[in-house]
Structure 1
Amino acid sequence: MLSSVLIAILPILGTSANPVEKRWSHAPDVGATTSDVFPPTGTKVNSDLFPPESIVGYPQGTPTGLEAAAIQTAPVYAYNSDPSSEFPLKNVGTEDGIDESTFDMLRSWGNLSPWYSVPSSYYGLDSASPLAPESCSITQLHLLYRHGARYPTAGALPAQFAASLHNATVNGTWDAWGELDFLNTWTYKLGAELLSPFGRLQNFELGVSYRNSYGYLLNNFTEQGTLPVFRTESQDRMVKTAENFAAGFFGVPEYLDQVNIEIMVEAPGVNDTGAPYDTCTNANVAARGGIGGIVSNAFATTAWNSTVDRLNSQVSGLKFTGNDILAMLQLCAYETNSLGYSAFCKLFTQEDFQQFEYYFDLSFWYNNGFGSPTSAAQGLGLLQEFVARFEQTPLSSYDSTTNSTFDTSSTYFPLNQSIYADATHEVVVADVLAALNLTAVFGETPLDLNKRGEYTFKSSQVVPWATHLTVQVMECSEYQPTKQVRFMVNDAVIPLNYDGCPSDPNGLCAFDTVVSALKNRIDEIDFDYACFGN
């Protein structure tokens, strides 16, 4: 990280154009962590003075209509693909002023990018659409989705950078000018790990989108006289993720009594398919000391050499490193996602942001993707649950991160739902893609360790904020057999290369063929060795 350099004697330069003329003009709390508190301590809503709807009454007309079925009936699909903006975030552009119509900065932040629709053509299915193919009727939806944008993890690079800057302010003398002038008054305004307002919006909008597309599947629950069970983890952001998704899907306050939200404990040593790293010991070995961490950190030391030189020429008393550039790039992403705007973004060029994305491509591909020795094992539990739901058969073995307390219970792990929705983390989505054996789509070619290249695995497309894996089960009258299935990642239909799957322009494969391939895949994954072996 940046180091404070104590300067005893400074040259006095006589020209008023001298960029360091206003030395040490920064505020004393530069880099300090700042926060606001709301609601005020000791306050709560006064339901006597402000009674709820149920007390006030007078709801006026409330007739319901038919459930939406846009995934079946719409002539075109509503893609999330506007490259010009990501309302309500402010895209301030790049340091080199690249045209936003040809380069979108927000899509170059790896897993810190807001999710966007990826065209199916990216994976070779030029004519495929998320809409139900002609002659097909979608009968079941399986959704695995990530939480929306959040504050950084406690103690991560952004907070470290702020602490170093604050220490330099307290212990030394430094100054910044030019592009870095804002650092003289900058403070660290980010909390830790909570969903940001934009993150809440992302999950709410995802819920709205899926209600518009698949709302008609709720009729199955009405026929059965049951309510859906949607699952999430116990972390605050995960609970709020499921609640915001449910609020978008069912409405407010309707979601409170129209869906069962199952909260699974996320804690070390507790089996939870949505947080497998808590029981897979080697997950931490791979992430912290394995090739993924080594490769991405080595890449960061040299990826921004020219940018290090440029920014170091606009500061005195400090010396930035490649790690500091990485921290500032992360601050660009986190501040924009959390505060709506960041002054850090304008420090960096298109090349800087492309290197930033590739840093995350390397990290995820080798830590939680197809280059990791533990990713498939971590995704095994959810894979087993997928198959159990497909076959409507309870799990018979618990040799992964599945939880027998829940997964043997029809209450907590129902097998007859037409809609399943599980909230999780992006690393788990990547683990599940590996467990699903989608190597031919995302990971057949290892990423180059030394320089950026072009690969089908792109972290902003696979693991962004609110990323989602969608599995559609359908009946297709013009196919034999008629029961078909397909997978989508962020609206991109992906080809299924399992044995027995034909090359289909819509990405379809026979349901029984896919289930058989997934059961074989389960047998291939050695959870004990991958998670606890040497």
Structure 2
Amino acid sequence: MKPVTPALNVPKDTQLKWAQYSPYYPVDPYKYPPKGCAVEQVNILQRHGARFPTSGATTRIKSALDKLLAVREFTDPGLDFLKTFQYDLGANDLVPFGAAQSFDSGAEVYERYAHLVSKKNLPFVRASSSERVVKSAMNWTQGFSASSFHKYNPTLSVILDESLNDTLDDKMCPSAGSSDLQTNLWQETFAPPITRFLNKGAPHANLTDSDVFNLISVCPFETISEQRRSKFCDLFATQKGAFPGFAYSGDLDKYYGTGYGQELGPVQGVGYVNELIARLTGTPVQDHTQTNHTLDSDPATFPLDRNIYADFSHDNQMIAIYSAIGLFRQSHSLNPEKPDPKRTWKVSHLVPFSGRMVVEKLRCGRTPSVRILVNQEVQPLKFCGADKHGICSLDAFVKSQAYARNNGDGDFEKCFA
């Protein structure tokens, strides 16, 4: 099937500087397992497709725009487009581009793993209860069905209520801190020259560094929502540090929000990891963190006999899960004033819109084995002694997940302290 996600008139390297608002791109071409290994089971964890800004972000964007649009005369012709500019984006909801992303993902999964599917063994699909996550899951099932010429029609079987125990959302750790300190420090580092540039071109706008960050975000949101290049992309393309600065802000936000830089970040991914172990080993879920015991103990709502599982979630929760597993561990914490160009923690590669982690259970000879791909890049899995193909035995993988199997080593209790 030809992909239905439209191309955007923006270079890929610019889109990859939109941090968590980047559209999904495969980091690598898909590599089939080496000779002697066959895929037996697939576990997909996927972020919802592209959306409008959240309601909080919308308020901040409108506040910054109001300052700019109140200016009577611009001294920089690059700002003249603002004379007729109207902001008309919605809030929170999935946009058509995001729906297409999820459809394409479902189609791709069928094309890649059709040998695992039968009428009696359809993918088992769950979603966290946010409307954009539910719709992404349903678009995925439609893509899967269309790719099979409607021979196989999976349905969304479980919606996890975000007000209850939910392994696909990061709402269950009230004592966790935020990334505000680090992202504010970085904003004060990269944004001032851009703020000065805009305030010079728009006299009396009195924009702050925070306003500038919110205005840069209009570029990805408007481009993706309207499927044409936003004038804000052109405006900030003239400022060398704008998009790299914006990208690193996203990296810091996730690292110190639910990633390794947040003491109670990784523990929020433990419940999902224990569900993953249950599926990989075909044994009941053992977890005392955020799993829903009623759902997970019922074969109708948590089967252990499927070949393909697809779960739909949010970026913050996926970061917590990556960190609980041990993926993308950095040699040192991210510096909020100076990016390390060698870091592998780049949010556009970790959790872009429609980003995904795929855990393949392989049979290599007689050995049940595991490999993990994040946005199609095979992860090295050094923590379980993986070979050059990123493959380690299932036993070694399960042993490596002691943090999850020990329910977060006491961290989950700290969430409520």
TM-score, with length taken from structure 2 = 0.91
Candidates 199, 223, 229, aligned match of 2:98: 199
> Unmatched 5+ residue regions in structure 2?
none
Distance of 1:311 and 1:137 partners within structure 2: 56
Matched residue SS, 2:194? helix
Q: 1:468 deviation in Å?
A: 0.4
Q: Which amino acid aligns with 2:43?
A: H
Matched residue SS, 2:53? coil
* Partner residue, 1:212: 111
Bigger shift: 255-264 or 110-119? 255-264
* Partner residue, 2:393: 510
Matched residue SS, 2:184? helix
Contact 2:270 2:404 in 1 (8 A): no
* Partner residue, 2:8: 89
Q: State whether structure 2 residue 80 is matched by structure 1 residue 162.
A: no
Contact 1:475 1:482 in 2 (8 A): yes
Q: 1:461 deviation in Å?
A: 0.5
Q: 1:267 deviation in Å?
A: 3.3
Q: Which amino acid aligns with 1:216?
A: H
Q: State whether structure 2 residue 45 is matched by structure 1 residue 144.
A: yes
Distance of 2:186 and 2:15 partners within structure 1: 21
Matched residue SS, 1:450? coil
Q: 1:361 deviation in Å?
A: 0.8
Q: 1:229 deviation in Å?
A: 2.2
Distance of 2:181 and 2:8 partners within structure 1: 33
* Partner residue, 1:38: none
Candidates 467, 471, 492, aligned match of 2:377: 492
Bigger shift: 466-475 or 307-316? 307-316
* Partner residue, 2:315: 426
Candidates 115, 138, 157, aligned match of 2:24: 115
* Partner residue, 1:242: 137
Q: 1:308 deviation in Å?
A: 1.7
Distance of 1:530 and 1:130 partners within structure 2: 41
Distance of 1:226 and 1:163 partners within structure 2: 51
Contact 1:483 1:510 in 2 (8 A): yes
Candidates 253, 260, 273, aligned match of 2:167: 273
* Partner residue, 2:305: 416
Q: 1:404 deviation in Å?
A: 1.1
Contact 1:141 1:470 in 2 (8 A): yes
Q: Which amino acid aligns with 1:387?
A: I
Between the two proteins, the alignment pairs up a number of residues equal to 410
Distance of 1:187 and 1:263 partners within structure 2: 40
Q: Percent identity?
A: 30
Contact 1:246 1:255 in 2 (8 A): no
Contact 1:472 1:485 in 2 (8 A): yes
Deviations 1:161-214, CA, capped at 9 Å, x for gaps = 324544776xx6633341111112212111011111111111111111111101
Contact 1:146 1:425 in 2 (8 A): yes
* Partner residue, 2:35: 134
Structure 1 stretches of at least 4 aligned residues deviating more than 4 Å after TM superposition:
252-257
1:236–1:255: structure 2 CA closer, same or farther, 3 Å change rule? Answer: farther
Q: State whether structure 2 residue 339 is matched by structure 1 residue 452.
A: yes
Distance of 1:379 and 1:492 partners within structure 2: 21
Candidates 349, 357, 362, aligned match of 1:469: 357
Deviations 1:52-88, CA, capped at 9 Å, x for gaps = xxxxxxxxxxxxxxxx9xxxxxxxxx9x9xxxxx843
1:143–1:252: structure 2 CA closer, same or farther, 3 Å change rule? Answer: closer
Distance of 1:256 and 1:215 partners within structure 2: 11
Q: 1:512 deviation in Å?
A: 1.3
Distance of 1:168 and 1:311 partners within structure 2: 9
Candidates 261, 265, 283, aligned match of 2:156: 261
* Partner residue, 1:185: 84
Contact 1:168 1:174 in 2 (8 A): no
Give the 5 Å matches for 1:274-293.
Answer: 274-275=168-169, 277-283=170-176, 286-287=177-178, 292-293=179-180
Distance of 2:173 and 2:208 partners within structure 1: 34
Q: State whether structure 2 residue 231 is matched by structure 1 residue 343.
A: yes
Q: 1:327 deviation in Å?
A: 0.9
Q: Which amino acid aligns with 1:407?
A: D
Q: 1:262 deviation in Å?
A: 2.6
Q: Which amino acid aligns with 1:233?
A: S
Q: 1:155 deviation in Å?
A: 2.6
Q: 1:131 deviation in Å?
A: 1.0
1:229–1:173: structure 2 CA closer, same or farther, 3 Å change rule? Answer: closer
Q: What value does the CA root-mean-square deviation take over the aligned residues?
A: 2.5
Distance of 1:519 and 1:307 partners within structure 2: 46
* Partner residue, 1:24: none
Distance of 1:532 and 1:256 partners within structure 2: 47
Q: 1:350 deviation in Å?
A: 4.2
Contact 2:134 2:159 in 1 (8 A): no
Q: 1:110 deviation in Å?
A: 0.5
Matched residue SS, 1:318? coil
Q: State whether structure 2 residue 128 is matched by structure 1 residue 233.
A: yes
Distance of 2:402 and 2:305 partners within structure 1: 20
Matched residue SS, 1:514? helix
Q: State whether structure 2 residue 244 is matched by structure 1 residue 354.
A: yes
> Unmatched 5+ residue regions in structure 1?
1-67, 69-77, 81-85, 92-99, 121-128
Distance of 2:33 and 2:216 partners within structure 1: 40
TM-score, with length taken from structure 1 = 0.72
* Partner residue, 1:28: none
1:328–1:394: structure 2 CA closer, same or farther, 3 Å change rule? Answer: same
* Partner residue, 2:280: 390
Matched residue SS, 1:445? coil
* Partner residue, 2:14: 105
| The structure with more radius of gyration | 1
Distance of 1:131 and 1:350 partners within structure 2: 39
Contact 1:142 1:471 in 2 (8 A): yes
* Partner residue, 1:48: none
1:529–1:179: structure 2 CA closer, same or farther, 3 Å change rule? Answer: same
Contact 1:493 1:507 in 2 (8 A): yes
Bigger shift: 349-358 or 452-461? 349-358
Matched residue SS, 1:193? coil
Distance of 1:195 and 1:256 partners within structure 2: 27
Distance of 2:175 and 2:312 partners within structure 1: 23
Candidates 147, 153, 169, aligned match of 2:54: 153
1:257–1:214: structure 2 CA closer, same or farther, 3 Å change rule? Answer: closer
